Structure 1
Amino acid sequence: MQSPQPQFVSPNLLIHSLSPKTQKKIGKKAQKNRILASNSGDLAAAMERWTGVLRVPISRGGPLFRVAASLIVAPSEALAVPRANAILFTGDRVRGTGDPVIERLSDAAYLAGLLAGKLAGEANAWVVDAACFAGPFAVYRELVPSIDTVGDPERYDPTGLPAAAGIANILAHCVGEIRNMVTPDSLKVSRSIEDPTASQLLHSPPRTIILGFSKGGVVVNQLMTELSHWACISRESSVDVSQRSTALLTHNLVIPTTASDVLSSISEFHYVDVGLNCAGAYITDHAVIKEVANYVCHTSNNLRVALHGTPRQWSDPNRPWIQAEKDRMLRLLHDEAERCEGRLLLAEKKYFDGRPPSLLMHFEILEAMDVC
């Protein structure tokens, strides 16, 4: 069977398809990014951005993920080496609300511009929708194999590192499509870094920032579990997990290219108003948290875990387990962080406190969240 072809939406088509109000907001964010970039001592000139939407598979013949991206482009019109790749996984579909704010914040293309505006000008933003849905329910089976038919986790199994490997493949397919399918009217993107050795002198491999919104939190939990497992196996095998692969350093500095590169590059996990109709919204396995702390202790890498929430999830009387899981995870992290010499950094941020829980605030947190 012939594999489905990835699809490309040009930046111009993407922007002009948005409402004037949304275009104005994205324009302000882009201007902010140019100002930040022009003020950076590491850049000779302001960075522009490539913005677009693609549909790419993890593997040949597999289902397509819809990915919106906002990527920095160097003055030479090549994809620039970012300081970080921020990847946001979205949740279930919410349609027919009639609320323009919810509709806007349900759109991955808009979220990519929004996320880019929250980061320093040298960061790439990626927003990933689930490849499959069961009605309104996001089903991240390709990244979290141990989920049921509506995408709820039965457990988090790190065997084979499916989420890390899947992310590496998604990013690789996206970058390949951007390099191969840009239109003559779009920014020209070079096929490779011309001088990897020179690039290594100027850039470190980019950090990876993982964010999960709502149901997208299952991917964050899977990655946390995989990081714990991978770090344990690597330490037992006397592998230096602080070193990136040769492929990353000599071939592609824009994105991590293997599962190990994804895991070793993760510097932040953000849980953004996550919640499920069952247990498993947060990691409460002490063994996983302990091994993540061991990883931080045995490398020179800092790791930040931030929990962002609203009364919609953290004060839901019908789902008390969400707050209980959040509190347990935070308590385990605090206990383990005491031995990490300040390199396991934690944050708990509640938004819209005092307001009655609503679906609107659940989406508004995406605009309000502080990721710095």
Structure 2
Amino acid sequence: MAAQPDASPWISFSLERVAWMLGARFPGRHVWLVCPSRLHLQKFSCYSNFVSCDVFGAPKHSPDYGAVRHLRALLGHATERAAIAEPLPPQGSCSVPAPLPTGFSLILVGFSKGCVVLNQIVHELASARTDPHLRQFLNSISDMYWLDGGHPGTGDTWVTDKQALRELASSGVAVHAHVTPYEVCDPARAWVGREHRRFVKTLQELGAHVTQNLHFKDEPVCIANHFRVIEEF
């Protein structure tokens, strides 16, 4: 980041420093940061290992791309490589999955473009639950945090499909939506704010445990506050 003119102003939010921030936010937990599979022009994150996307990372969601399966495999490999006492067992072929490690639970956090991964997981909930291994894994998710989601596309910044949101609401997962005016109050991208409001309203109507917070609403709109939401949520 230090060597890139566009990235150097934000080095205080580097991968390593964000890891420390999340460690402080969730003390006593293992923190895993997942990088995008590629960077277009060294700045457009593309999470194509989780969701179909164009060259700039704008997603095209589907009901069974494989994001849940990929996340489970990724965490299983990571816990094994880190020599954690009880690693996440590999997904087997038998119908009865091996038990998860004692006390295993997940909190998923997406920031900015990374929120497309959370959105894809929501779109996959119905299909993933038909697999006993993935259903067990999904049942371990306690909370999901959307932090100022955004991408260069012209829609699908927030999940608005009611059936997908019904699956999320019925899962019992606590949903947290933290936004800033940089994303949800931009008149040039008015759909982002509309989708965010619809996301929250629909989940509330469906009885989900959902909280929302608009940060820095009394401050000038700026990209700096977009990053600062990582510190404030």
TM-score normalised by L of structure 2: 0.84
Paired residues of 2:128 and 2:134 also in contact (CA < 8 A): no
User: CA 1:352 to 1:219, structure 2 compared with 1: closer, same or farther past 3 Å?
Assistant: same
User: CA 1:190 to 1:333, structure 2 compared with 1: closer, same or farther past 3 Å?
Assistant: closer
Matches within 5 A, 1:14-93: none
Paired residues of 1:228 and 1:292 also in contact (CA < 8 A): no
Structure 2 counterpart of 1:131, one-letter code: S
User: CA 1:192 to 1:118, structure 2 compared with 1: closer, same or farther past 3 Å?
Assistant: closer
Aligned residue pair count: 217
Paired residues of 2:57 and 2:151 also in contact (CA < 8 A): no
Structure 1 counterpart of 2:177, one-letter code: L
Corresponding position of 2:19:
112
Which of 37, 44, 47 is the equivalent residue of 1:131? 37
Structure 1 counterpart of 2:32, one-letter code: W
Which of 50, 58, 64 is the equivalent residue of 1:159? 64
1:96 aligns with 2:13: no
1:315 aligns with 2:185: yes
Paired residues of 1:109 and 1:127 also in contact (CA < 8 A): no
User: CA 1:175 to 1:95, structure 2 compared with 1: closer, same or farther past 3 Å?
Assistant: farther
Corresponding position of 1:178:
82
TM-score normalised by L of structure 1: 0.54
Structure 2 residue runs of 5 or longer lacking an equivalent are 89-98
Cα deviation, 1:306-327, whole Å, max 9, x if unaligned, reads 1101111111111101000001
Corresponding position of 1:224:
122
Paired residues of 2:64 and 2:128 also in contact (CA < 8 A): no
Cα deviation, 1:65-93, whole Å, max 9, x if unaligned, reads xxxxxxxxxxxxxxxxxxxxxxxxxxxxx
**Residues in 2 aligned to 1:159 and 1:329: alpha-carbon distance in whole angstroms:** 21
Name which one, 1 or 2, has greater alpha-carbon Rg. Answer: 1
**Residues in 2 aligned to 1:292 and 1:96: alpha-carbon distance in whole angstroms:** 36
Sequence identity percentage: 25
Structure 2 counterpart of 1:335, one-letter code: E
1:291 is displaced (CA, Å) by 2.8
Paired residues of 1:268 and 1:305 also in contact (CA < 8 A): yes
Structure 1 counterpart of 2:15, one-letter code: A
1:210 is displaced (CA, Å) by 1.1
1:190 is displaced (CA, Å) by 5.3
1:172 is displaced (CA, Å) by 2.1
Structure 2 counterpart of 1:313, one-letter code: E
Cα deviation, 1:169-220, whole Å, max 9, x if unaligned, reads 21122223223xxxxxxxxx65879xxxxxx9xx844221111100001000
SS of aligned partner of 2:146: strand
**Residues in 1 aligned to 2:212 and 2:70: alpha-carbon distance in whole angstroms:** 28
User: CA 1:191 to 1:220, structure 2 compared with 1: closer, same or farther past 3 Å?
Assistant: closer
1:290 aligns with 2:163: no
Paired residues of 1:167 and 1:262 also in contact (CA < 8 A): no
SS of aligned partner of 1:126: coil
1:358 aligns with 2:222: yes
**Residues in 2 aligned to 1:174 and 1:168: alpha-carbon distance in whole angstroms:** 10
SS of aligned partner of 2:53: coil
RMSD: 2.4
**Residues in 1 aligned to 2:165 and 2:119: alpha-carbon distance in whole angstroms:** 11
Corresponding position of 2:138:
263
1:120 is displaced (CA, Å) by 3.8
